[in-house]
Chain A
């Protein structure tokens, strides 16, 4: 009923490879897009600034990781390091006087080069070995950042980002930052939506399922793996730069530490490997829920009037949040994206499927 399929026929390949095969999906996407556009006017600045904006940027980043992990099936534990490369090179470029538009692209390209450079070495190994190699990349990057003041800035290794300016327009307001993040996230999402229906996307999936089977089909798995690493690193680099330019205003090594790499991977896994909408959900859960639960527990304890030790108060949300992740993965091991998919599938033929039972 909600996702009406009547009158939807795919009689040729072009029609079958449309982005939105069901009109309801398209309408829903358009609706959410409009809400996104209107967000600065309908959402209080606190939520816009400290929840929505980081959510969008991290979603873009998580989509990049999803490309290499979800689509191409390569486990990547050094994603934050790649983001750091992008962030630092973009800021240095901007500080050097390069316009931000180019600085962001420089950030993306540097990440891309360094990310795929590591991929060359890493791709001789597979699976867990690859994961460890990418983890090593993370440690190398951490070390480089903490040991080269020239890159990471002076005192306590913090590098101030110059004011973001795009198309000759200085961006200083919350609304401005939001739109920049929104624009980037939309761009990445459109790219990922289209990836699904291109030869590249199909080749990546083939590599994921079995790389030597893909090779038999004529897909050069090494080439596609490198391509996946390069593309995802580009997205990571620009997202990293965006994160600093619109949210942190200052780059520090801790923002791109190994813990962050694990977090992004968690976003992708909880959201669902290879799922675009899942990435949105996953980021929301990993990034925003801890803060929300924290606030909720604090308000609750105030409301009930129990005096809880601050330390306990800080640990309750962690426990709740951990339990939440476990529960979600127990209910649906394929992640939040699949959970949404289940609901969608159910509604697709509802209420008529009830007759079958």
Chain B
């Protein structure tokens, strides 16, 4: 009875905002509406496997506040319409934390999540200005935005040149659609600020033909090339670079470069390639080891073990560690059952959380839903990734200026 009264109290507190949520004890659920069959399949299987493994591990240890956790994985085929369907369906089953790992679907769900007061996690996808918590109250793009990531790349280049970029030339090779175009503005601003020369090289989708782009790069001969492409396009790029005799260590990729790409380029040929990342790659991670001993060694993993040996698996672990940690905080702060509101409070109380050395420490606040946007640059040495910097988050003022400018347009 007592429990019921308490539950009712919480329910009335949250009020109408949580239409359809049962206040009775239920597992804490995360709705994973992913594209498992179309454009994002280079990362979604690993990430969802990480989510399921992590949920299993947490349940083995007694769940969160004694309640089990559950992740519900559904495919939306990267179609906004089916993403909305997944969101609506799971919402009615009492899910109030969603992740889509797809920009179009994230965009499509965002207005609904904002309206319904449900949490939309959108690490590494969706609109970057959603880090502005004052505007996007229910959206949490924890991790670096593409703007922040590009700024950190520039900061790394600045380190390499002893703080003087005045006679440095930076090339930017990008997919010619919103994903790739996003960092341009920030790079232009920084180029004015720091005085380096910026050259833009758009790559038409799907990136299978880059011959013209890289011969232009060879002519311009930039000192570094920041690259905003995904999957197979990296392999094409590396071939073109070899043909044009452009050294591999000029290549600084966005975080979407994984072990599969390296294997396709060739371990030796990829030597010197760099990427920005917000998670520690490789298997030398405490959480990863724990999952291996607790699950995979006993044959209870959620999928093939090969998929775990991929940086996107670690990315998944990082994303879901954050989500479960926030749930734990929420249960600590406001008790069970966890509601969207208490979960929000849980997220916003995360401070310096790095999942035991798995990722860049994040601190989420009411204003900053990105968690600080720290990344580091790693280099492939032929066998493993070697960190080149600490976790950094530079030029935050410039990044936030762009964020504010963009988010203010949403409010209109």
> What is the interface of chain A, defined by CB distance below 8 A to chain B?
46, 49-51, 54, 95, 146-147, 153-158, 160, 247-250, 252-255, 287, 290-291, 294-295, 298, 309-311, 313-315, 317-318
Contacts and interface: CB of A to CB of B under 8 A. Distances in A.
B73 A146 contact: no
A255 B104 contact: yes
A54 to B, nearest CB: 5
B178 A314 contact: no
Interface of B: 36-37, 41, 45, 48-49, 52, 73-75, 77, 80-82, 84-86, 88-89, 92, 103-104, 107-108, 110-112, 126-129, 176-179, 181-182, 302-303, 405-407, 409-410, 412
B88 A315 contact: no
A214 B350 CA distance: 72
A153 B409 contact: yes
Nearest to A288: B85
Which has the most chain B C-beta neighbours within 10 Å: A248, A287, A298?
A: A248
B178 A156 contact: yes
Contacts of B108: 248, 250, 252, 255
Contacts of B407: 155
A24 B129 CA distance: 56
Contacts of A247: 81, 84
A50 B79 CA distance: 13
A252 B74 CA distance: 23
Contacts of A95: 412
26 contacts: A46-B88, A50-B84, A54-B81, A146-B177, A146-B181, A154-B406, A154-B410, A155-B127, A155-B182, A156-B126, A156-B178, A156-B182, A158-B127, A160-B410, A248-B108, A248-B111, A249-B111, A249-B112, A250-B108, A253-B178, A294-B75, A311-B36, A311-B41, A313-B73, A314-B75, A317-B75
B82 A291 contact: yes
B111 A250 contact: yes
Contacts of B179: 156
A212 B392 CA distance: 70
A146 B176 contact: yes
Contacts of A153: 409
B89 A50 contact: yes
B107 A252 contact: yes
Given A310-B48, A317-B75, A156 B127 contact: yes
Contacts of A318: 37, 77
Q: Which of B41, B48, B75 counts the most A-chain CB atoms under 10 A from its CB?
A: B75
Contact of B80 (A49, A51, A255, A315): A255
- CB-based closest 3 A-B pairs: A314-B75, A314-B36, A254-B104
B406 A155 contact: yes
A310 B409 CA distance: 38
Contacts of B88: 46, 49-50
B129 A154 contact: yes
Contact of A154 (B75, B84, B112, B409): B409
A160 B412 contact: yes
A58 to B, nearest CB: 8
B37 A156 contact: no
Nearest to A161: B111
A46 B75 contact: no
Contacts, number: 107
A155 B128 contact: yes
Q: Pick the most buried of A155, A158, A294, A317: most chain B CB atoms within 10 A of its CB.
A: A155
Contacts of A46: 88-89, 92
A50 B182 contact: no
Contacts of B41: 311
A50 B129 CA distance: 27
A157 B104 CA distance: 10
Contacts of A298: 74
A310 B412 contact: no
Contact of B37 (A252, A287, A291, A315): A315
Contacts of A295: 89
A10 B80 CA distance: 48
Nearest to B185: A149
Given A156-B127, A253-B178, 8 more contacts: A46-B89, A95-B412, A146-B178, A154-B129, A156-B178, A290-B82, A314-B37, A318-B77
Contacts of A254: 80, 103-104, 107
A140 B299 CA distance: 52
Contacts of A313: 36, 73, 75
Nearest to A260: B79
A9 B384 CA distance: 84
B110 A250 contact: yes
A174 to B, nearest CB: 10
Nearest to B80: A255
B74 A294 contact: yes
Instruction: Indicate the member of B41, B111, B182 with the most A CB atoms within 10 Å.
Output: B111
Contacts of A290: 77, 82
A157 B246 CA distance: 33
A295 to B, nearest CB: 7
A51 B85 contact: yes
B283 to A, nearest CB: 21
A136 B409 CA distance: 32
A295 B86 CA distance: 9
A33 B37 CA distance: 37
Contacts of A287: 81
Contacts of B412: 95, 160
A169 B74 CA distance: 37
Contacts of A309: 303
Between A255, A295, A311, the greatest number of chain B beta carbons within 10 A of the residue's beta carbon is seen for A311
Contacts of B406: 154-155
Given A155-B406, A156-B103, A310 B182 contact: no
Contacts of B80: 248, 252, 254-255
A153 B127 CA distance: 11
Contacts of B84: 50, 247-248
Contacts of A311: 36, 41, 45, 303
Nearest to A254: B104
Given A156-B103, A310-B36, A314-B37, A50 B85 contact: yes
Find the residue from B111, B178, B406 having the highest chain A CB count within 10 A: B178
